[in-house]
Structure formats: C-alpha cells, structure tokens
A and B are shown apart, each in its own frame.
Chain A
Amino acid sequence: MNDTLGQTPSQTVGPYFAYGLTPQQYGYPLKEIAGGCLADDAAEGERIRIEGRVFDGTGKPVPDAMIEIWQADAQGRYAHPADPRGSNTGFRGFGRFGTGTDPDNRFVFDTVKPGAIGDGQAPHVNVVVFMRGLLVHAFTRLYFSDEAAANAADPVLATVPEDRRRTLIAARHDGSTGVVYRFDIHMQGDDETVFFDA
C-alpha cells in the first residue's frame, strides 16, 4: 500500500529510564502510573509473586532492565475495551519494575494468578523486556509450572520448539510467605528465553 506511513523506529530505553518510567520505585519525586504491585486488597484471586532476573550473554544479571507485564484477572478477563467481559474492579493488569533497586537485580511483581481467557490458551502473563543495549523491546510470555495439562494444550506453546518451552515456564514455590513463581529471562546462551515476533 502506497498510502501507508512508515512506523516510527524503536530506540533503546537507555540506562536512565527510571525517573521517567519507574520513578517511585527508584525514589524520584514523580507519581508512577504502575509499579510492582498489581493487586490491591480488593483484587480477587490467588495472590502470587512473580520474581526473576534478566541475564546477559555472559550470564551476569542485568541491573538496568525494565520489565512490563500485562495480564488478565483471576477470571481470565482483561481490563481493556477489546475484552467485552471486562476485568473485575480494581485490577488493571499492568505492572512495571526496574531491576536497579533490588540488591540481586530482581524484578518483583505482586499480583494474582490470571485465569484462562477461554480461547484454549493456558493461563499466562505477557512480558515485555526493555534495557540499555536492547534497541527493540522483546516480547515473551510467562506460563505456570502447575498448569501442566493446560500448557500441553496451549496453541502458542505448541509453536515453540519443545526443547525451548521450558524457558517460558515459571516454577512455583509454595513458601511461608506465599506463592512465588520464579521466572528468569536469559537474553542469550543455551537457555535463551523464547521471544516472540508479536
């Protein structure tokens, strides 16, 4: 089509995104639109924590990455007009966290476990990775280790080579402080996380 405009190119988020995008997490005086806590007291569903690190090609944790997550609520509904069912009150489903404030460079999200959205996909969280040195953001997905049957039937996981699917499965740990899913993101190497051309 000749009448189309060219897409504005992506550029790296750079090392100094924090005071613009995650200001409260880093202690800057600007209200942030979203942080690591997605679920307020009113949110329905199983409380979970998602945590992990981002590793570069040398296996070092990245201290200046920003992770965004987008997910359905516990009933599998998105807070967006394209989902006519709508999300339950108080659950917006979006979180953002920079890896620069945790001593181990973790990202940490306190949220609820999403329900299946009803189209055959297993419950999942949509994940976007940004960092200095990444010129285009990378899309990936987080699936849950305790959803083996649903994962086995998931049409998106089915498109991923079998030996790489494990990179998308977060491991559940039931600890004294609650449920934690560990989800490390490897940018490169044998364990390179599957990224999608979404």
Chain B
Amino acid sequence: MTEVTGYGPRDWGSHPPYIHPEYKSTPLRGPTKPLIPLKATLSELTGPVYGHESVGRLDADLTKNGARNGEPLGERIVVTGRVLDERGRPVPDTLIEVWQANAAGRYVHVIDQHAAPLDPNFFGGGRCVTDSEGRYRFYTVKPGAYPWGNHHNAWRPNHIHFSLFGPSYLTRLVTQMYFPGDPLLDLDPILLGTPEKARDRLVAKFSLDVTEPEFALGYVFDIVLRGTIMTPMEG
C-alpha cells in the first residue's frame, strides 16, 4: 500500500520568475524575498474539489453561452487536450475555467477600453471538466490580438486563459494557451518571461484530426500538472 505524501516541487526551471523586467508590471508586484520552503501537510495535500456539478449546460461552448441573437463573429475553433501529471497519468474530473478576448481582440471586462468592437453574441468565459482519461474539450472562436500598454506598439498574441485545480492545493495552475505560427509570440514579454525550454508547452498544436469538417478548426493543448509523490504506508 502506498499513500500520497506530497507532490513534486514546482519546477522553477519551467515557470517564469516573479520579476521579469521586460513585463513592466512585475518589478513592483513580484515577491523579492526568497520563498520559504513548505513541506506538504494535510492543508496542501487537500484542495478545492469542483467537478461536473459545477459546469452548466452551455459552459463548454463559448459560441453559445453568450449568444443573444446569433452566432459570434470569428473563426470557430474546438480546443481539446489531456490534463496529465508529470508521469503522464491522466488527471480526471478536474475543473478547467477559461476566459478570452473576442475575435476582434476585445474583452467583455469593463476595464478593457481597447477600441475594438464588443460582440453581442460572445461573452468569452466558460468551463469544462476532464473525463476519466483527463480529456477536455470546448468550442469557442479564435481570440484576436490586442494592444497593451507595456511598451510602444505592444500587442498580446492570440491567447486563451486557463485555470485548473488538479487534485490538490499544490497542483493549482493558471496559464495561457497560445496559437501556433503567431508572429507575436517572439515579441511578447509575458511568454518570453517563461524559460525558453518550456515555452513550446504553452503553444497549442493545430490538428486536422480534431478539426471538424465544415465547422471548426481543431487545436490540441495538453496540460501537465505537478505529480504525486507516493510513499509506502507503515504497518
């Protein structure tokens, strides 16, 4: 018999640092003192549990959950993938929350004042849950790029925000999915703050197999969360 006694450490070689000066909000917001190591206790081995009951009927279809009188404008896409741990084991029944700009690069959020149109048929927030094999799937439209004030002529690449819980407090992940072939990827201080070896993990792959004929382009985005450490139980 074994039991979960911890999770692999946050791999700081894969995550961005707290302070990345080219992303100008970080120097005044990232912690500056060394983190204090914390050995996992029951507080960390547990975590919020949200599953299928937290997903509404249209939540996994962003082309429908904000529609008022028609379809949202833009390129319809389907995004799917697996949530796995570091050893490749599926993470089943875990909630994924997503939010994104519309096809014109405008967020519904009231503080987004970018002079691009809102789409009356697109809200941009949704959620889904992984199945027993860790698979998830949602429909949306491809988000547009948009300018941000980080530096002169700064544009965020097309991206979708992802938030996941995984099985414990320690597997929490908030990240962004980017699109292959986007010329803005090489110019984005947020993506470039990520260690080079790990950047590709944030870029979805186009898939003709996932693409649905006459309907939607398909993208695959697999997500890897921290894996468990198992220890034999005593006695």
Contact B124 A9 (CB under 8 A): no
User: How far in angstroms is the closest Cβ of chain A from B171?
Assistant: 10
Q: Which residue of the partner chain, among A33, A100, A156, A197, contacts B10 with CB atoms under 8 Å?
A: A197
Query: CA–CA, A42 to B32, complex, Å?
Result: 42
Contact B175 A11 (CB under 8 A): yes
User: How far in angstroms is the closest Cβ of chain B from A1?
Assistant: 8
Contact B107 A16 (CB under 8 A): yes
Contact B25 A7 (CB under 8 A): no
Chain B residues with Cβ under 8 A from A128's Cβ? 169, 172
In the complex, B52 has a CB within 8 A of chain A: no
Produce 1/0 per residue, A135-154, CB < 8 A to B: 11111010000000000000
Chain A residues with Cβ under 8 A from B54's Cβ? 33
Chain B residues with Cβ under 8 A from A83's Cβ? 42, 46
Contact B109 A19 (CB under 8 A): yes
Produce 1/0 per residue, B119-136, CB < 8 A to A: 000011111000000000
Contact A16 B112 (CB under 8 A): yes
Contact A135 B18 (CB under 8 A): yes
Query: CA–CA, A193 to B36, complex, Å?
Result: 11
- The contact size tier of chain B is 35 or more
Contact B36 A11 (CB under 8 A): no
Chain B residues with Cβ under 8 A from A119's Cβ? 41-42
Stretch of A44-52, A56-64, A170-178 with 4 or more beta carbons under 8 angstroms from chain B: A56-64
In the complex, B49 has a CB within 8 A of chain A: yes
User: How far in angstroms is the closest Cβ of chain B from A190?
Assistant: 10
Query: CA–CA, A193 to B43, complex, Å?
Result: 19
Q: Is the interface of A mostly helix, strand, loop or mixed?
A: loop
In the complex, B26 has a CB within 8 A of chain A: yes
Chain A residues with Cβ under 8 A from B125's Cβ? 19-20, 23, 28, 30
Contact A135 B30 (CB under 8 A): yes
**A160: nearest chain-B partner, CB-CB:** B36
Residue with the highest number of chain B CB atoms closer than 10 Å, among A10, A126, A138, A141: A10
Chain A residues with Cβ under 8 A from B37's Cβ? 159, 196-197
**B20: nearest chain-A partner, CB-CB:** A135
In the complex, B1 has a CB within 8 A of chain A: no
Q: Is the interface of B mostly helix, strand, loop or mixed?
A: loop
Segment 4-47 of A: residues with Cβ below 8 Å from B: 4-21, 23, 26, 28-31, 33-34
Chain A residues with Cβ under 8 A from B170's Cβ? 198
Contact A7 B41 (CB under 8 A): no
Contact A33 B86 (CB under 8 A): no
Chain B residues with Cβ under 8 A from A92's Cβ? 48-49
Chain A residues with Cβ under 8 A from B31's Cβ? 138, 187-188, 192-193, 195
Contact B36 A197 (CB under 8 A): yes
A196-B36, A198-B38 as given contacts; A82 in contact with B46, CB under 8 Å: yes
Q: Which residue of the partner chain, among A9, A14, A134, A196, contacts B29 with CB atoms under 8 Å?
A: A134
Query: CA–CA, A105 to B23, complex, Å?
Result: 23
Query: CA–CA, A164 to B16, complex, Å?
Result: 25
Q: Which residue of the partner chain, among B86, B109, B161, contacts A5 with CB atoms under 8 Å?
A: B86
In the complex, A166 has a CB within 8 A of chain B: no
In the complex, A79 has a CB within 8 A of chain B: yes
What are 24 of the A-B contact pairs (CB < 8 Å)? A6-B14, A6-B224, A7-B224, A8-B202, A9-B14, A12-B176, A13-B163, A14-B161, A14-B176, A17-B99, A19-B123, A20-B161, A30-B125, A78-B42, A80-B49, A82-B45, A92-B48, A117-B42, A121-B41, A132-B25, A134-B26, A137-B172, A196-B37, A197-B35
Nearest 7 A-B pairs (CB), nearest first? Answer: A20-B99, A133-B25, A80-B46, A133-B29, A57-B28, A197-B35, A135-B16
Measured CB to CB, the residues of B under 8 A from A are: 4, 9-11, 14-18, 20, 23, 25-33, 35-38, 40-50, 54, 56, 59, 65, 84-88, 95, 97-99, 101, 107-109, 111-112, 123-127, 161, 163, 168-170, 172-176, 190-191, 193-195, 197-199, 201-202, 223-227
Beyond A20-B97, A92-B48, A197-B35, 9 additional pairs, beta carbon < 8 A? A5-B84, A9-B195, A16-B107, A57-B32, A80-B47, A81-B49, A135-B190, A164-B33, A195-B35
